[in-house]
A and B are shown apart, each in its own frame.
Chain A
Amino acid sequence: MGKAVNVKERANPLAETLRLRLDEDQLTNCMRCGFCLPACPTFAETGIEAESPRGRIALMKAVADGIMEPDGAFEEQMNHCLGCRACEPACPAGVKYGQLIEQARDAIEDHKQHKPLVKAARHAAFKTVFPHQKRMKLVGRGLELYQKSGLRKVARSTGIMKLFPKHISDMEKILPEASGKGVLEKIGAYHPAKGEKIATAALFRGCIMDVLFTDTNIHTVDLLTAAGFDVVIPAAQNCCGALHAHSGEAEGARELARGNIRAFKEANVDYIVSNAGGCGAILTEYDHLLHEDPQWREDAAWFAGRVVDVSELLVRAGRSLNFGVPSAGPAPEGDPKVRITYQDSCHLRNVMKSADAPRVLMRQVEGAEFIEMKNADRCCGSAGIYNVTQPEMAGSILDHKMEHVEATQAQYLLTSNPGCLLQMKHGIEKEGLSGSMKAVHIVDFLHERLHERTE
């Protein structure tokens, strides 16, 4: 017989935390229509209801209602979600799934007894390194040393990397040249607009971006000034807190948010520009992150309202730029058009709602042919640190992604987020395509083709 549903006495402390922390309105708003299922990458991979947003919300609600105890499988399921949030635009009822999954993970993390090694690693990453840009630079400097000193050569030739799990050693291979110096140290804090000034934009440099992709930050500044923006880079800014929020470290994320709000409020700018969809998305949600903090609520809304992705700002408010064949390098032979395609950053698309702007820019590049990739709007499996924590699922998602990538026969695979970029580089390497295809940040691609305005 069907079981009657009783609310039991809760002996399980995690169940109680979940009940308190999960937003009951959001749980009720899910009407179980199932429209989110086709949008969900983990459902597409498995076809299993529990691996879908509707399934995960049903599990959360079952725990909150006392129908189910949050066991190990429950925790695992919450962590199996990529957090790509493709389900949110698909939801007729507007359920804020991203918030629910973060609330669930936050509750789980509060009760988690990590193994000592994992605990130390989490502490190091979330509390000691990410929050401090100077320490991030040290990591960058260390990585730079590793890569340049010959230690990398030693590590690779001795096969020491083989001691690490395959997915870690794979990632090591595709890490770009790291830098101990960030954008601020390299080019300074203030950059006036070329020509008449349209508005003032502050660059959000990001922690990983600034260590691994310093040049992309520099190129972002160049594009913005060329399009008519004064650019400032507030020195006191820190990590956005996205990885914290997605990994159940909500308080850590809030602390970082406060730091950033303070830094950008002082700079008093019209726009806060991000070139990483993953960072930009959480920046636009600082208002939600701090909505229970009366002291910060207003400033958080000020901040969130000004955040914009670089592509979106260029298209929406910038002077139009002239992109052509790169000024340096040999003239193309034969078919002069270079084929380019694009992998959406999930958070740029689903949270910042910016899917058109990058495509508008790519279509403006003379001498390039933009080819829309099938399922470009699907997560690539990178998803923050998902490819490290859930290598199996991430690997299977990447394999399917690479089939579509290959079908485009593009020479350039562009993205708008460092995590996606690394994952795409990894995919190209894995499929043995590195001879014919390059993964590049859209900003770098555009910058290389920017023809100076003749004014």
Chain B
Amino acid sequence: MLQEDVKRELVAILGSSYVKDDPQSLVTHSYDGTPMLQSLPDAVVYPENTGQVSEVMKVLSRHKIPVVGRGSGTNLCGGTVPVQGGVVMVMHRMNRILEIDMENLTAIVQPGLNTKQFITHVEELGLFYPPDPSSMSISTLGGNIAECSGGLRGLKYGTTKDYVIGLEAVLASGDIIRTGGKLMKDVAGYDLTKLLVGSEGTLAIITEATLKLIPPPKYKKTMLAMYKDLYGAARTVSKIIENRIIPATLEILDRSTIRVVDDYAKLGLPLDMEAILLIEQDGDMETVERDIALITDICRSEQADQVSIAASAEEAEKLLTARRSAFTALARLKPTTILEDATVPRSKIADMVLEINRIAKKYDVQICTFGHAGDGNLHPTATTDARNQEEIHRVDEAFEEIFEAAIRLGGTITGEHGVGLVKSPFLEWKVGAAGMEVMKAIKQSFDPHNLLNPGKMFAKETRKRVVIDRG
């Protein structure tokens, strides 16, 4: 519970309607999109502007009270669960577009702005903001920046970090910093903008962002290819890139996902396929048509069993259904759905899918894999039941081994969901002991009293690496 005097100070800054510590507010800010995590905060605050954020931070800093910034709470790494209590700072009231600069093609936004609303708005102006996490209809831009969200368009257009060119943020002390600006080039000192993007609320509270916008593609085409041989699909992915084609979308569904999706959406997919690739290209018409023709040839030369090219927008929608239904179909299979994002170099996609299948079998758990084949970012998804402790334990063990396998193949434990709480015990596997020391030193210099989202990114203890049993 918040001490009375602290509460009084916060109310003086924010007004009584925007400082809440009733049971209802605490319970509804004790979780995020991550399964099986819950921890009650001591209070929830809703600041309206940067000045208030700064004042609140000063109070919390003086009383050494932790603070967790929160957008819509859709992350999948436990990033906004207040594991050490303290104050959850909800950014929803700071939800305005402050400026769209048509000369510089930039936007200045507040962190609580809804991602989809922003994307729709810039599209109406004939511009394009590519990062499109699956949660974009509810997520906030502040949340996207804190987690460095990816999405389906990541392969060709990059992720959130590639579009954030300036930030305003409040430090643990309450001081306000500004980084970058409407600048496409800026080498004045360390790149604090990039450092804050993906810092998961552990370094500062982001209060404003300058985003880069680009002209939208004029034309788009969608196609689907099915394979009886997983390696054929994987080689297709590599060959497309080798041929200097970067598709806008290059998604894969594995055999178990195909079955689940077909069962749910009744699409009549052939069930003897090992993989489906969903491919989209955008750009000017001539290039798109040429790329799609070339990709079709590559699919055929890699023994794709079926190749379909959408002739119209409606047909494209149909082809997209399988990929779009994947999450829904998996989520309905069992009560608890654990979606991970192990990522490997794209040349290792087939090896990784096979490793995941082997590991799932070893631990006798159901794991279906789909994801962004083009950038090697896979979503092995376990369907289980939080009430079955014994199975959950096996799922945990399986994921540990999947992270291990990803690193062994030159990959990473998380491509786009973030470390948060869930993957903190594995971070050292990826960055090494020296890397951990550097990161801790950075954290220390930003937030000496460990008040900003404590318990995230850095685990008390790194998990011991499992001995690989290849038997």
- Which A residues have a C-beta under 8 Å from some C-beta of B? 1-3, 5, 25, 28-29, 31-35, 37-38, 47-50, 55, 58-59, 62, 67-69, 71, 73-74, 77, 92-94
B40's partner among A3, A25, A35 (CB-CB below 8 A) is A3
Binds A, one of B82-90, B178-186, B400-408: B82-90
Q: How far is the CA of A38 from the CA of B41 in the complex (A)?
A: 24
A60 to chain B, nearest CB (A): 10
A34's partner among B22, B93, B135, B328 (CB-CB below 8 A) is B135
**Count of A-B contacts with CB under 8 A?**
99
- Given A47-B93, A67-B27, A93-B337, also A34-B385 (CB < 8 A): no
Q: Who on chain A is nearest to B44 by CB?
A: A49
- Which B residues have a C-beta under 8 Å from some C-beta of A? 22-25, 27-35, 38-41, 72-74, 82-85, 90, 92-93, 95, 114, 116, 135, 137-138, 327-328, 331-332, 335-337, 385-387
Q: How far is the CA of A128 from the CA of B28 in the complex (A)?
A: 39
Q: How far is the CA of A257 from the CA of B74 in the complex (A)?
A: 40
A47's partner among B24, B92, B332, B387 (CB-CB below 8 A) is B92
- Given A50-B24, A55-B28, A59-B27, also A31-B85 (CB < 8 A): no
Q: Does B73 lie within 8 Å of A2, measured CB to CB?
A: no
Q: How far is the CA of A92 from the CA of B138 in the complex (A)?
A: 14
A32's partner among B25, B33, B92 (CB-CB below 8 A) is B33
Taking CB atoms, residues of chain A closer than 8 Å to B73 are: 32, 34, 49
A454 to chain B, nearest CB (A): 35
Q: How far is the CA of A37 from the CA of B31 in the complex (A)?
A: 14
Q: How far is the CA of A59 from the CA of B22 in the complex (A)?
A: 12
Q: How far is the CA of A37 from the CA of B143 in the complex (A)?
A: 15
Q: Does A5 lie within 8 Å of B38, measured CB to CB?
A: yes
Q: Does B335 lie within 8 Å of A62, measured CB to CB?
A: no
Taking CB atoms, residues of chain A closer than 8 Å to B31 are: 32, 58
Q: Does A34 lie within 8 Å of B40, measured CB to CB?
A: no
A163 to chain B, nearest CB (A): 32
- Given A58-B31, A67-B27, also A37-B72 (CB < 8 A): yes
Q: How far is the CA of A37 from the CA of B92 in the complex (A)?
A: 13
Question: Binding site of B, secondary structure by majority: helix, strand, loop or mixed?
Answer: loop
B322 to chain A, nearest CB (A): 15
Taking CB atoms, residues of chain B closer than 8 Å to A31 are: 33, 35, 331, 335-337
Q: Does A33 lie within 8 Å of B27, measured CB to CB?
A: no
Please give me the 5 A-B residue pairs with the lowest Cβ-Cβ distance, nearest first: A2-B39, A92-B328, A49-B28, A93-B331, A55-B28
Q: Does A50 lie within 8 Å of B25, measured CB to CB?
A: yes
Q: Does B23 lie within 8 Å of A37, measured CB to CB?
A: no
Taking CB atoms, residues of chain A closer than 8 Å to B30 are: 58
Given A28-B335, A37-B72, A94-B328; 15 other pairs, CB 8 A cutoff = A2-B39, A3-B40, A25-B335, A32-B31, A32-B73, A34-B73, A34-B135, A35-B138, A49-B73, A50-B27, A73-B23, A92-B331, A92-B332, A93-B335, A94-B332
Q: How far is the CA of A35 from the CA of B39 in the complex (A)?
A: 21
Q: How far is the CA of A33 from the CA of B76 in the complex (A)?
A: 8
A402 to chain B, nearest CB (A): 21
Taking CB atoms, residues of chain B closer than 8 Å to A33 are: 33, 74, 135, 331
Taking CB atoms, residues of chain B closer than 8 Å to A32 are: 31-35, 73
Q: Who on chain B is nearest to A47 by CB?
A: B92
Q: How far is the CA of A35 from the CA of B72 in the complex (A)?
A: 10
A92 to chain B, nearest CB (A): 4
Taking CB atoms, residues of chain B closer than 8 Å to A92 are: 327-328, 331-332
Q: How far is the CA of A74 from the CA of B28 in the complex (A)?
A: 12
Q: Does B27 lie within 8 Å of A62, measured CB to CB?
A: yes
Q: How far is the CA of A74 from the CA of B35 in the complex (A)?
A: 24
Taking CB atoms, residues of chain A closer than 8 Å to B331 are: 31, 33, 92-94
Taking CB atoms, residues of chain B closer than 8 Å to A25 are: 335
Q: Does A68 lie within 8 Å of B138, measured CB to CB?
A: no
Taking CB atoms, residues of chain A closer than 8 Å to B83 are: 2
Q: Does A59 lie within 8 Å of B24, measured CB to CB?
A: yes
Taking CB atoms, residues of chain A closer than 8 Å to B387 are: 28
A117 to chain B, nearest CB (A): 28
Taking CB atoms, residues of chain A closer than 8 Å to B38 are: 5, 67
Q: Does B336 lie within 8 Å of A49, measured CB to CB?
A: no
Q: Does A35 lie within 8 Å of B335, measured CB to CB?
A: no
Taking CB atoms, residues of chain B closer than 8 Å to A58 are: 27-28, 30-31
Q: How far is the CA of A13 from the CA of B5 in the complex (A)?
A: 35
Q: Does A2 lie within 8 Å of B27, measured CB to CB?
A: no
Q: How far is the CA of A47 from the CA of B116 in the complex (A)?
A: 16
